[in-house]
Structure 1
Amino acid sequence: MIKKYGLLGLCMAFSLYTSAQLNVKQGHWHASLQRKDGHHLPFEMDIQQKNGITTCYILNSTERIKTEDPVYSGDSVLIKMPVFESYFKIKIINKDSLNGIWVTKGESKDIILPFAASAGEGRFPYRKTNNPKQVQGKWSIEFTRANKTKRPAIGEIVQKGSSLSGSVLTPAGDYRYLDGVVSGDSLFLSTFDGSHALLLTAKIKGDSLSGYFYAGQSGLETWTAVKKADVVLTPAVTAIKEGSDGKLDFTFKDLKGKSVSLQDERFKDKVVILQLMGSWCPNCMDETAFLSKYYLKNKDRGVEIIALAYELSTDEERSKKSLQKFQTQFNVQYTILNTGATAGDPQRTEKTLPQLTAIKVFPTTIILDKNGKISDINTAFYGPGAGDYHLKYKENFEKKINNLLDQKL
């Protein structure tokens, strides 16, 4: 879950069919997006060839993502991400080198960053040592924005030798699969998923860290951290408005243009899960993957799920295409509705769910009991990159649903 303004991101995979234009080395590649301030946002690719087909994956710790089929135009290759309005336009310089641009669509204009990749290199250069500094564990983090306001977070770091993995959790979601190294007295972590494009650097001083956080095209914050095993976060709050009866009432169009109402017969006397999401949102991607599998296993038990989408644009056709990518990628069998309100609209709650206080983060999950009354509003979804936090979320989610299913009308 991230705030609409959130971050640009990163987790991506490439699928390239071999041709005269694609004569490149197999194996690991170092790739990066280049910011105007001179800093690079690094990630790693793995390019493999089999049966005349070249397939390239973007690697973030244990995650591997594959792109759509490439489209060739002259000496360039257009490669779209499987989700998000995001693509690469690449030129093959030689078998060891690629360059081009990465493009992601924003609310009103495209965001473009130069891209480059070279064969045979890892995500980060680092100095090998037999005794790397130890940073494994849980960290209490404080980020400081450019305007000097501060925001809390939790760092969950796993270390094997000099290699690092883990995630950063905020009240608005997690930074998914971070991947990095310890080198000398410094720490480096990054991720890329087609939306998130993030880099954290820090100096290590015993049980404290201090450094910089680079996000997307221009985001820059400082951050400090101290080790703290019992650190907790206070989640954002969306609640039932005072005076409301705890019931919602809406009608929006699905991806086929058909009007769907919460009052329709198919939702009557069932436990209904409302997923407030957007196809631009990396944490929504993780929640969609989870909910899609959950629905397929539990739909015959009296559970329904409705995704309410808050997109970047009021352009209905653009939103539909982007949401269909989510639907296809994760085999979503439950209902997806486009609310028509944008994620950045300050009136998005009043226009769509006026019975609630402000929608603050995406995704937000609302659970309705069999009588259609709100039983729970959760703003703290954490994905699989967050490790034990994700497992705990799933356990609590399933317990809540099971308890509601056991209740009699």
Structure 2
Amino acid sequence: MKIFRFLPALLIPLVFLAGCAKPQLQTGIWRGALKTASGNEIPFNFEITDTAGKKQMTIFNGSERFKVTDVNIKGDSVAIKMPLFDSEFKLKIEKDVLIGKWIKHLADSDAVLNFNAFHNEDWRFKTQSKPSADISGRWATTFGAAEDTSFAVGEFKQQGAKITGTFLTTTGDYRFLEGVVSGDSLYLSAFDGGNAYLFMAKVSGDKIIGGKRYAGKSGYKEWTAVKDNNAKLPDAYSLTALKPGFKKLAFTFNDLNGKNVSLSDERFKNKVVIVQIMGSWCPNCMDETVYMVNYYKKYQPKGVEIVGLAYERTTDFARSQKALQHLKERFDIPYPLLITGYTPATGEPAKSLPMLDKVLGFPTTIIIDKKGDVRKIHTGFSGPGTGEHYIEFITEFEKLTNDLLAEK
């Protein structure tokens, strides 16, 4: 009987320890949502996994799987540092919920959005009713209102209620969008650590009306679209050019080690040279860089060189160096990245390269022949989220490379 009298006393510390057990970041699927200044949620899904006792995060957008390895847990606090784009999450664990903020570090300020996430929720948008339309196909899209408008081409695939796709613009694409059609309502979103987007609209026959696009903390634009299988953008090679009287490009900037690199250096002579105007903050530049790394491995032995000209959000060399070093390590970039000291602000890239008439967007890619003459300038980049357009770009770009290599 004495044994039974002692049992309650023995259980007391066990109950106490269970009640004081530190919260755990649960592995599995989560639904996260960023709250914009307008009060709307930008949802996305992610997975937490445990690899050798270390937590990792994988963000889902359509077919993309974006891995984040810098996940640190201390007590009930979780700090997640995005590998690119200079942003981070600072969160608290409350049972199966994460609550906190996403912080995007800009040049001289921070953009901060409230964030929450729920464990074991694999839905992005709930469908209240069966879709009344199938938006698969190509859509001529207008963003903005009155005189402040821009043209894009929406391309989507729909299976049941689920949609994947993107919008192509002259300066790049919106990467991997994912969402649903519920009744006559369309919802799409994406988050990649650099950009956060929410699209909402109504589908009416061959038109999309009343569209609203929320970007980041406070970005907002209206949009509409019309079904048009022939919709297309202007030729990406026609948007930027050298000023009259110029045939060549010239520059000297510092690499990540502070060493001067010039286009007149020996390594670029008698080579086909690709000049990549880019920035570590730019998701389309990330997509282009992934392609360029593989392209360089294939074509560098044949006589091609690449050099990246970085236009960071700050003119501070050390901050730019740190951001670009992360980019270099993430994608194992074998070619030089140069810190121009200029920002991506309107007019700055063209100011740094005065022989260019303008730089409309990031990335911009300049193709130089073996004689040092600029042969083509390509604005924007259609990444893997654009499907066949990505394949078309690769085919055309590599044909151009082969033609230039064959020239005497």
TM-score clears 0.5: yes
Q: Which residue of 2 is the match for residue 233 of structure 1?
A: 233
Q: Which residue of 2 is the match for residue 294 of structure 1?
A: 295
Q: Kindly indicate whether the alpha-carbon contact (under 8 Å) linking 2:56 and 2:69 is maintained by their aligned counterparts in 1.
A: no
Q: Does 1:271 align with 2:272?
A: yes
Q: Which residue of 2 is the match for residue 15 of structure 1?
A: none
Post-superposition Cα deviations, 1:348-378, rounded to whole Å, max 9, x if no partner, equal 312x211110111110000000001001000
SS at structure 2 position matched to 1:341 = coil
Amino acid of the structure 2 residue aligned with 1:217:
K
Q: Kindly indicate whether the alpha-carbon contact (under 8 Å) linking 1:85 and 1:105 is maintained by their aligned counterparts in 2.
A: yes
Q: Which residue of 2 is the match for residue 179 of structure 1?
A: 178
Distance 2:345 2:77 in 1: 34
Distance 2:220 2:85 in 1: 23
Cα 1:126–1:316 change in 2 (3 A) is same
Q: Kindly indicate whether the alpha-carbon contact (under 8 Å) linking 1:132 and 1:162 is maintained by their aligned counterparts in 2.
A: no
Q: Which residue of 2 is the match for residue 7 of structure 1?
A: none
Distance 2:175 2:263 in 1: 32
Distance 2:230 2:55 in 1: 46
Pairing of 1:214-363 with structure 2 (within 5 A): 214-234=214-234, 235=236, 237-244=239-246, 246-344=247-345, 346-350=347-351, 352-363=352-363
Pairing of 1:16-35 with structure 2 (within 5 A): 23-35=24-36
Distance 2:86 2:215 in 1: 18
CA RMSD of aligned residues (A): 1.6
Q: Kindly indicate whether the alpha-carbon contact (under 8 Å) linking 1:141 and 1:224 is maintained by their aligned counterparts in 2.
A: yes
Distance 2:307 2:224 in 1: 39
Q: Which residue of 1 is the match for residue 133 of structure 2?
A: 133
Q: Does 1:98 align with 2:107?
A: no
Q: Which residue of 1 is the match for residue 199 of structure 2?
A: 200
Q: Kindly indicate whether the alpha-carbon contact (under 8 Å) linking 1:139 and 1:229 is maintained by their aligned counterparts in 2.
A: yes
Q: Which residue of 1 is the match for residue 108 of structure 2?
A: 108
- The number of equivalent residue pairs is 384
Pairing of 1:114-125 with structure 2 (within 5 A): 114-121=114-121, 122-125=123-126
Q: Which residue of 2 is the match for residue 43 of structure 1?
A: 44
Post-superposition Cα deviations, 1:139-169, rounded to whole Å, max 9, x if no partner, equal 0111115x75111110000111111101111
Greater gyration radius: 2
Cα 1:51–1:323 change in 2 (3 A) is closer
Q: Kindly indicate whether the alpha-carbon contact (under 8 Å) linking 1:21 and 1:92 is maintained by their aligned counterparts in 2.
A: no
Distance 1:137 1:297 in 2: 34
**Identical-residue share of aligned pairs (%):** 46
**C-alpha displacement at 1:49, in angstroms?**
3.7
**C-alpha displacement at 1:346, in angstroms?**
2.7
Distance 1:39 1:378 in 2: 36
SS at structure 1 position matched to 2:217 = coil
Q: Which residue of 2 is the match for residue 6 of structure 1?
A: none
Cα 1:242–1:280 change in 2 (3 A) is same
Q: Which residue of 1 is the match for residue 158 of structure 2?
A: 159
**C-alpha displacement at 1:21, in angstroms?**
5.3
Larger RCO: Structure 1 or Structure 2 (Cα < 8 Å, ≥ 6 residues apart)?
A: 1
Post-superposition Cα deviations, 1:316-349, rounded to whole Å, max 9, x if no partner, equal 0000010111101111000110111111153431
Pairing of 1:50-69 with structure 2 (within 5 A): 51-69=52-70
List gaps (5 residues or longer) in structure 1: 1-19
Greater share of helix residues, 1 or 2?
2
Distance 1:103 1:86 in 2: 6
Q: Which residue of 1 is the match for residue 384 of structure 2?
A: 384
Q: Kindly indicate whether the alpha-carbon contact (under 8 Å) linking 2:70 and 2:83 is maintained by their aligned counterparts in 1.
A: no
Q: Which residue of 1 is the match for residue 7 of structure 2?
A: none
Q: Which residue of 2 is the match for residue 8 of structure 1?
A: none
Q: Kindly indicate whether the alpha-carbon contact (under 8 Å) linking 2:57 and 2:71 is maintained by their aligned counterparts in 1.
A: no
Distance 1:119 1:307 in 2: 40
SS at structure 2 position matched to 1:84 = coil
Distance 1:67 1:165 in 2: 22
**C-alpha displacement at 1:106, in angstroms?**
1.3
Distance 2:303 2:294 in 1: 15
Q: Which residue of 2 is the match for residue 5 of structure 1?
A: none
Post-superposition Cα deviations, 1:160-180, rounded to whole Å, max 9, x if no partner, equal 111110111111210000011
Distance 1:33 1:148 in 2: 31
Post-superposition Cα deviations, 1:66-92, rounded to whole Å, max 9, x if no partner, equal 113223455322111111111111111
Q: Kindly indicate whether the alpha-carbon contact (under 8 Å) linking 2:362 and 2:380 is maintained by their aligned counterparts in 1.
A: no
TM-score by length of 1: 0.90
**C-alpha displacement at 1:99, in angstroms?**
1.0
SS at structure 2 position matched to 1:70 = strand
SS at structure 1 position matched to 2:393 = helix
TM-score by length of 2: 0.91
Distance 2:294 2:405 in 1: 18
